[in-house]
Amino acid sequence: MPQATEAASKRRGKAKAPSLSREELLRAYRDMLLIRRFEEKAGQLYGMGLIGGFCHLYIGQEAVVVGMQMCLKPGDQVITSYRDHGHMLATGMEARGVMAELTGRIGGYSKGKGGSMHMFSREKGFYGGHGIVGAQVSLGNGLAFANWYRQDGRVAVTYFGEGASNQGQVFESLNLAALFKLPCIFIIENNKYGMGTSVDRASASRDLSQNGAPWGIPGEQVNGMDVASVREAGERAVAHCRAGKGPYLLEMKTYRYRGHSMSDPAKYRTREEVQKMRETSDCIETARKALLDGFGVTEADLKVIDDEVKAIVQDSADFAQESPEPPESELMTDILVEVG
């Protein structure tokens, strides 16, 4: 086993005391709650027929993206799959623009032309929103390649599911990233299922954090239901990348509470399994408890945050219904960049 990997795997399991300050944890709580409430609202609008097509909710996994985002600086890039609403909110994209894209309106980030799976913000370093399982991993290497090429000290964070981790281009990407020492953090969001297929029915590997081991990519398994653990591991990964030592891989053990997309009958797991995760490991509840018990935060303090979040989400839903559909002229725009 390569040295770096060995060191990393030794660290595994040794959970230290929560490393977040009061302010950091409050912020994380607020960001996770925003994603949760936003997604619940999206599910509701879908049920009303205001959102069409596929709609993959991030509920349950909020700690992963919020914890990672705390490690990043402006200019760093993020890329992910179709389960992307949480990532967009975490990078600071506006709830209004995301929700209006979900309803297919001109006020959406893609003017209504991309929908749930395809939104982008260069300004916030968010490079999508990709519908083809695994494709974003090669693209993420490209973001990291640009950082390496420009020597600008930025890192790229590439998120993908444990299902996606089996795609051929993911393995090609791991080799390329290691070969060129690209500043790329691979995040496997292992939520245990790719649609209806559990991880043990799709991967022969029992430890996905070691998927980069053949190429010497250090990897760690992380409790992805705990924002402090995510943040700690994320800091190690970012430090490694910024120091020019090449890519890093984090396997986030997480869980999605809702179906794969809105039309998932979820017969492949029991309600009890979902209920148990919600009750014992929920990232928002964990943060809430830590704030109340360890930091002297009061219920009233949290209520202020809850209300702020509720207002943002309601405002985004209102905006997403008021914003008009794109004008018909938009059908023929944005196909090629005009030359000359």
Ligand X SMILES: Cc1ncc(C[n+]2csc(CCOP(=O)(O)OP(=O)(O)O)c2C)c(N)n1
Q: Which residues pair with 121 in a beta bridge?
A: 126
The angle, 0 to 180 degrees and rounded to 10, between the axes of the packed helices 227-242 and 22-47 is 110
Binding mask 43-72 for other proteins (x = CB under 8 A): xx-xxxxx-xxx------------------
Site size with ligand X, rule: CB under 6 A: 14
83 binds, among Mg ion, other proteins, ligand X, none (CB under 5 to 8 A by kind): ligand X
CA distances to 109, 120, 157 from 94, rounded to whole Å, are 9, 12, 20
The answer to the question of residue 242 lying near other proteins (CB under 8 A) is no
Q: Pick one of 83, 85, 154, 240: the residue that binds ligand X (CB under 6 A).
A: 83
CA neighbor of 81 nearest in space, from 181, 160, 185, 189: 160
Helix then strand count (H, E) for the chain reads: 11, 7
Binding mask 163-182 for Mg ion (x = CB under 5 A): x-------------------
Q: Pick one of 112, 140, 161, 326: the residue that binds ligand X (CB under 6 A).
A: 161
Query: Which stretch, 12-20, 71-79, 193-201, 228-236, contacts other proteins (CB under 8 A)?
Result: 193-201
The answer to the question of residue 243 lying near ligand X (CB under 6 A) is no
The answer to the question of residue 194 lying near Mg ion (CB under 5 A) is yes
Q: CA 105, CA 192: separation in Å to the nearest integer? A: 34
CA distances to 25, 284, 310, 326 from 287, rounded to whole Å, are 7, 5, 18, 40
Q: Which of residues 162-201 bind ligand X (CB under 6 A)?
A: 162-164, 189, 191, 193-195
Q: Which is nearer to other proteins, 70 or 135 (CB)?
A: 135
Binding mask 201-220 for other proteins (x = CB under 8 A): xxx-----------------
**Token pair 């179709």 in the structure block, residue:** 82
CA distances to 28, 31, 34, 99, 104 from 305, rounded to whole Å, are 11, 10, 9, 20, 29
How far apart, in Å, do the first and last CA atoms of the chain sit?
55
328 binds, among other proteins, Mg ion, ligand X, none (CB under 5 to 8 A by kind): other proteins
Residue-wise DSSP of 167-221: SHHHHHHHHHHHHTT--EEEEEEE-SEETTEEGGGT-S-S-GGGTTGGGT--EEE
Q: Which residues are near Mg ion by CB under 5 A? A: 161-163, 191, 194
Q: Which residues are near other proteins by CB under 8 A? A: 40, 43-44, 46-50, 52-54, 101, 103-105, 110, 112-118, 130-134, 163-164, 166-168, 194-197, 201-203, 262-263, 265-268, 271, 321, 325-326, 328, 330-332, 335
